[in-house]
Amino acid sequence: MLNLQRPKFAYMGGKLRPWEEATLHVGCEAVNRGLNVFEGLKGYWQPDWSFAVVMLRRHYERLQRSARLLHIPCCISFEEYTSAIEQLASSLLESERDMWFRTTLFVTEGHWGEGTIADLVVTAFHQEKVIPNAINLGVSTWQRSLDVALSARIKTSTNYQVARLARIEGRKNGCQDMILLNQWGRVAEATGSCILMVRDGTISTPPATEGALESITLEILEMLAESHGIPFVRRPIDRTELLVADEIALCGTLAEVVLVKSIEGLPLSGEAPLLKALQTRYFEAVRGTKPHPFVEMSTVRTTRGAPGPIADGAYTCRI
């Protein structure tokens, strides 16, 4: 039985509210049509006991792009957005755990695109300080939706209906995550993260035009790889290439960098030297032990706490 966190507070309607009071009306478009756009952000304790969120402005900008694509007015300034996250972090943070934030624009007023009004809701969940364990990955029979139907570029909850079905399918086969193929039968992305593959010393990942979200973590990894002289290309990937890849990993804000130990039941050769190195470098950058100029960390004003140790842990792509 799943035991999901129920934090004490959520930010809604411009202020913090008790969790039980952060509700939507059954008549609004957010409920009736699942109309919302959102961002998941992660904050990490830093060595100086400050708490910092990864690429805050990039997430704000992508939220605006998603809202624009669904004709949802986004009247929230970057300052208000930051303040909402700060308020919630201040009331919920614990020094022993990091935090994942979900910032959502829910459409609370309007009908079929007329009179649309959205409210910024922020929820936050504690995250254990772990390096994720390697996972078994499958390839789903479900497909990524077309750009002309529901573009993968739009980060909206409705885009995750298919991902949910893929996860249900994967669970039956002992897979912790699944790859969705696109309309051409090529690799798009995983259910809540992007995919990286190594063949002959080069890291490849499909471009967003193959049906992947424009991932901020991928941008970071691309820069980290470049700094370390590791070849990194964005190109279409066939399904069968995954089956003969030397190394595979998933990446995303919540997933972080997760190594893959088997693909469709076929074991991978084990060590994953390039992707393991990139995983290590990623955690050094976001945890501030070895910052990288591209990886923008926004310090959140909050009460102080001492960072705890980092352990190995289960795949945490859920809250």
Q: Residues in contact with ligand PMP, total (CB under 6 A)?
A: 12
Interatomic CA distance for residues 283 and 275, integer angstroms: 12
Nearer to ligand PMP, 35 or 194 (CB): 194
The sign of the torsion formed by the CA atoms of 277, 251, 38, 234 equals positive
Residue in 192, 211, 288, 307 binding ligand PMP, rule: CB under 6 A: 192
138 contributes a contact to ligand PMP by CB under 6 A: no
278 contributes a contact to ligand PMP by CB under 6 A: no
Q: Interacting stretch for ligand PMP, rule CB under 6 A, among 80-88, 214-222, 268-276, 297-305?
A: 214-222
Nearer to ligand PMP, 37 or 107 (CB): 37
66 contributes a contact to ligand PMP by CB under 6 A: no
Q: Which of residues 13-52 bind ligand PMP (CB under 6 A)?
A: 40
256 contributes a contact to ligand PMP by CB under 6 A: no
123 contributes a contact to ligand PMP by CB under 6 A: no
Selection from 114, 103, 101, 102 nearest residue 29 by Cα:
114
Nearer to ligand PMP, 28 or 225 (CB): 225
Closest separation in Å from C-beta 182 to ligand PMP: 13
SS3 52: strand
Q: What are the start-end ranges of the H helices in 70-160?
A: 78-92, 147-150
DSSP state of 160: G
Closest separation in Å from C-beta 218 to ligand PMP: 6
221 contributes a contact to ligand PMP by CB under 6 A: no
How far the first Cα of the chain sits from its last, in Å, is 14
**Count of alpha carbons within 13 Å of 303, Cβ hemisphere only?**
9
Closest separation in Å from C-beta 120 to ligand PMP: 18
64 contributes a contact to ligand PMP by CB under 6 A: no
Cite the beta strand spans of the chain per DSSP E: 9-12, 15-18, 36-45, 51-54, 98-111, 114-127, 130-132, 135-143, 177-181, 187-190, 194-199, 202-205, 232-234, 247-252, 256-263, 266-267, 297-300, 311-313
* Binding residues vs ligand PMP (CB under 6 A): 40, 189, 192-194, 213, 215-218, 252-253
